Structure 1
């Protein structure tokens, strides 16, 4: 179960409240005497504090799982009492009491009970709303009141939003118990509640604005205007699937106005102007993007579908090296087919074998001057595996049988015993939890916890071999960030061999990235870290991981063991979107063209999978077994390159660029100077129909920033540093790099760039070219000049 980990404040820019708001709330903020110590004053101290425009908001809301809003169809928010939970108002106290009783009961029981999901309760004004009582009909209102009926809205990540209507006071304990104890409550509620209760899915989006006037003067001043602005924008845009609700006290009033957006579960603070209200709608995808925002619907013609596409490929391809391709000839074919990054999988092989492969790769590159292929070291990582078997090579486990999973890894396994490499298994899992073996081929359900073993019931009949992987979905495991083997792989191979990327397996939190950097040290500081997100803990901590890593890999294999497979695409889209906004490269991996291990052509579903990853915004797509062990490694790269080109040709880059710019301004409020120059270069390129963007770069960061704003025209980067060339050519979307002898002599370098563009067929004489460079030559981080040249 995923909780609201995305609930963060501060997603919108920090600005001072407009003067009208300060005037409107001035007396409330300042009228209290500092010597007034009456109980009422102490209790309502928050009414007199000013809004804090400077304090950081990110992380100020604790994680929780489900949010329940009780609809009030009778009174406006200005008539709500101060403390709803202490009154009999709309049965709020009954909900809170039912929750407290459940939590106390769970606390008194043993640790074998199912996890209790945390609930948050609020009231939302529903005057004249179809989901509330018909307030224009007095008889209907009285009947509604007389029967004691009410409606609630329920929101939870990765599950449908629900409206539960016709509830009575007697229904509350059962409802709260279900929400606390049942993971799949949308399926359970309709049959578990009485027949007079109606449960319906909520389509569209819901925005709740804290407008609890009697609770806090800051909400009184800021909340109602925001509600008004948002409703005006929604009406103007014709978005009948967007609902805006005034809400009761949600906390964090120092950051008013507060807005909560569901079903995503995002909280925003300081939304205190019309401009921010509009930005909130855009950043939260409240308004449908313009036609062609991603797909050029009107331009996808029959000719487009049938003609051959020879466009320049923008997305990059990562290829895993293995026996199927690691000869010099085989590696050369992969390079020619479009390989941008060569991945060495350290879950297999040794330093000697990988070193020999790397030597052959460099030999193949030596015969292809000007071609740059980056090298990625993918760590084995901390993993849990089953042990060895006795005399048999495989064992059949039959459905319904009981097995003991022992933490003594030396014990040979059989049909009744499975050895496990994870010594903390009995304290990490719980009764009722699921354990997956061999990529889910064998499913076990925990029935009993012992001191050094776990008893489990076999859920399906399966034949399993030795040393298979084991997953504990949803559990927080106590494993090191890097194993001893991983550390040796980094220090004894990665650094001496000058690899470009470390793909860190099973990253779970931001501090994991810090530790990997400490292992790399100064000597390996040039190596960039790609965090592989493969478990629920990594998803929960995705924001902090993204802040610290150099890039992301959406590792769908193990992730699909940790979360339901039907949810993987949601995680993929979420991770790609957030990485795009940060401007950090993201790689989508696992089973992209899996059938090509044995077949010369992929399935249509696989082609669609690759295309959709590109449409999602991924910078790179990855091949694993297809190139490492497959029968058709070169063909797999060739077809993947073709799919990327087709998907890219269906995108409206001008719209993508504008949307990215609006989104970044919504999240940051302003841009650092280098990013402003980068985004402006893309805007200028679109405005003047430039055919190429040229960037002079020492580190590749400027090229990366320009690529973030998704230009349709190619980015040509020139650098004197080979490592930079491999980085840009390897993972920076739509970017191509040329290594030059020196960064001194800007004018001559730019003229050379124009020649290169003409040689590649990107520009013709007389075409506009946008150039980005620094006024100081060969100084990293000094790109502050944008100019237009004529080819």
Structure 2
């Protein structure tokens, strides 16, 4: 099976999509990577879904990526005696560490690290930004607030502290347990939530490397303004990033989110790191069989921007039309990529290659493939590095990522344009060319008489050594080059 598009689709699994039949339906509709959201569900639930994905992968003969998304340090208020209260503009309100049930005047905020970071004038947002309060007086265990934007406040509603770097780890005790479980289970990507600074990424990286080395890749979710201030460093330390527009839209003015999305996508592409755009992309399809025109335009904009992947959350995890949502996202991507303006925008936004051998080879491969009208570009890769550099160039031709490593094949399922093929290790260039010719013909990328462009790193098996560019023509028999 080959996709007729370059941008990838990530589908979140949940109650609406947990059975093997549902997961297969999502895959056939267009899902390339499945997200397991550790904010919900038990380890047993996630293991069952993972097993179904791997059984489907074996049946279909196509590598499928699995993204384990950690919950992160969620800040929430405590419980109220009556379940909820109503706050009006101008009301005084207090947060403290007391475990007593909340009243009209106060509620527990069991996060001493928040009080430690507050200053007079700091704003707190509650319930996804629906309420806003400002600090008037504070101490190590309390904060006296003034309500700026009122509304209903009920048990366990979330708290955001925009423009403040909180002295907390991105990994809670729950996250560390979930991380160990996800890595042992076999997840290909770990998504790190609420990244504030580069050191957060390093902390997660150390935990992963200590357990499995570099077998699992790390995706940083950008949902805090402080992360944008350290964007280049966070991208450099991550294997991929996500524009997590939910909390980002709460903590940043709504009108700045589209601009930040373009900035993040451009920075990720320049660095050769995959970028995922997520949150409420087809949100109305949770309960409707078709999206709004604005949602269709939102998905299209992410594709025009150059995102590697777009993600569905509640639409596939808990919606009434999970397969329809994936089908619609697939159709939007295909339509955009057929548009002449898409290629013009993609070519115009291409960054100059870095002064490295691997970038020079990858840029040359794109140019050679364009000039010759080659059927495809083949990247033979042991680590994924060659495929990532080829994808950075956004060539017109499909990228066939040929690798002997199943983990790499699954990881590359997230990468723009990469069609992943698992194959045996090769010992020399001639063997590589022969295997490449067979792979592209089997999946319908090329046929007898077609030109193909191949990039690889020699000696084979050494990570990051892209240094070989070959042009070959499949012979008339289709048996070799």
Instruction: Give the structure-2-normalised TM-score.
Output: 0.93
Equivalent residue number for residue 393 of structure 2: 709
Equivalent pair of 1:719/1:743 in contact (CA under 8 Å): no
Question: Which consecutive residues of structure 2, in runs of 5 or more, have no partner in the other structure?
Answer: 475-481
Aligned equivalents of 1:484 and 1:627: distance in 2? 28
Question: 47, 71, 96: which one pairs with 1:406?
Answer: 96
Which structure has more relative contact order (CA 8 Å, sep 6+)? It is 2
Kindly indicate whether the alpha-carbon contact (under 8 Å) linking 1:432 and 1:447 is maintained by their aligned counterparts in 2. yes
What is the Cα deviation at residue 473 of structure 1? 1.4
Task: Provide closer, same or farther for how the CA distance between residues 359 and 455 of structure 1 changes in structure 2, counting only shifts above 3 A.
Answer: same
Instruction: Say whether the 8 Å CA contact 2:113–2:168 is kept in structure 1.
Output: no
How many angstroms apart in 2 are the aligned matches of 1:519 and 1:775?
Answer: 31
Of 140, 146, 155, which aligns to 1:457?
Answer: 146
User: Matches of 1:689 and 1:474 in 2, distance apart?
Assistant: 50
> Which residue in the other structure is 2:47 paired with?
355
With over 3 angstroms needed to count, the CA separation of the structure-2 counterparts of 1:447 and 1:774, relative to structure 1, is: closer
Number of aligned residue pairs: 471
Aligned in 2, Cα 1:659/1:586: closer, same or farther, shift over 3 Å?
Answer: closer
Q: Give the equivalent residue in structure 1 for 2:329.
A: 640
Is 1:772–2:455 an aligned residue pair?
Answer: yes
When the two chains are superposed, the root-mean-square deviation of aligned CA atoms in Å is 2.0
Residue of 740, 753, 757 corresponding to 2:440: 757
> What is the Cα deviation at residue 311 of structure 1?
8.0
SS in structure 2 of the partner of residue 424 of structure 1 = helix
TM-score w.r.t. the length of structure 1 is 0.57
Q: CA deviation at 1:708?
A: 0.3
Aligned partner of 1:23 in structure 2 is none
Distance 2:7 2:20 in 1: 25
Superimposed CA distance per residue, residues 502-550 of structure 1 (whole angstroms, 9 cap, x where no aligned partner): 1001111112111111112343221111111111111111111111111
Contact 1:332 1:365 survives alignment (8 Å) = no
SS at match of 2:185: coil
Within 1, Cα distance between the matches of 2:6 and 2:403?
A: 20
Q: Distance in 2 between matches of 1:788 and 1:424?
A: 59
Tell me whether 1:504 sits opposite 2:192 in the alignment.
Answer: yes
Deviation of 1:752 after TM superposition, in Å, equals 4.0
Deviations 1:215-244 (A, max 9, x none): xxxxxxxxxxxxxxxxxxxxxxxxxxxxxx
CA contact (8 A) 1:586 1:620 kept: yes
- 1:331 aligns to what? 23
- Partners of 1:443 and 1:459 within 8 A in 2: yes
Q: 1:781 to 1:432 in 2, by over 3 A?
A: closer
> Mapping of 1:191-590 within 5 angstroms?
312-368=4-60, 370-390=61-81, 392-408=82-98, 410-491=99-180, 493-525=181-213, 526-590=215-279
Distance 1:550 1:779 in 2: 18
- Higher-Rg member (1/2): 1
1:654/1:686 contact within 8 Å kept: no
Which residues of structure 1 form unaligned runs of 5+?
1-309
User: Per-residue deviation at 1:734?
Assistant: 0.5
- Residue among 349, 352, 377 paired with 1:664: 352
Structure 2 CA distance for aligned equivalents of residues 311 and 720 of structure 1: 21
Secondary structure class of the residue paired with 1:703: helix
Listed one character per residue, the Cα deviations across residues 59-106 of structure 1 (whole Å, up to 9, x for unaligned) are xxxxxxxxxxxxxxxxxxxxxxxxxxxxxxxxxxxxxxxxxxxxxxxx
Q: Which residue of structure 1 aligns with residue 478 of structure 2?
A: none
Q: Is the 8 A contact 2:304 2:346 kept in 1?
A: no
Q: 1:521 aligns to what SS in structure 2?
A: helix
Q: Secondary structure at the match of 1:412?
A: coil
Task: Give the conservation status (yes or no) of the 8 Å contact 2:336–2:342.
Answer: no
Contact 2:304–2:345 (Cα < 8 Å) also in 1: no
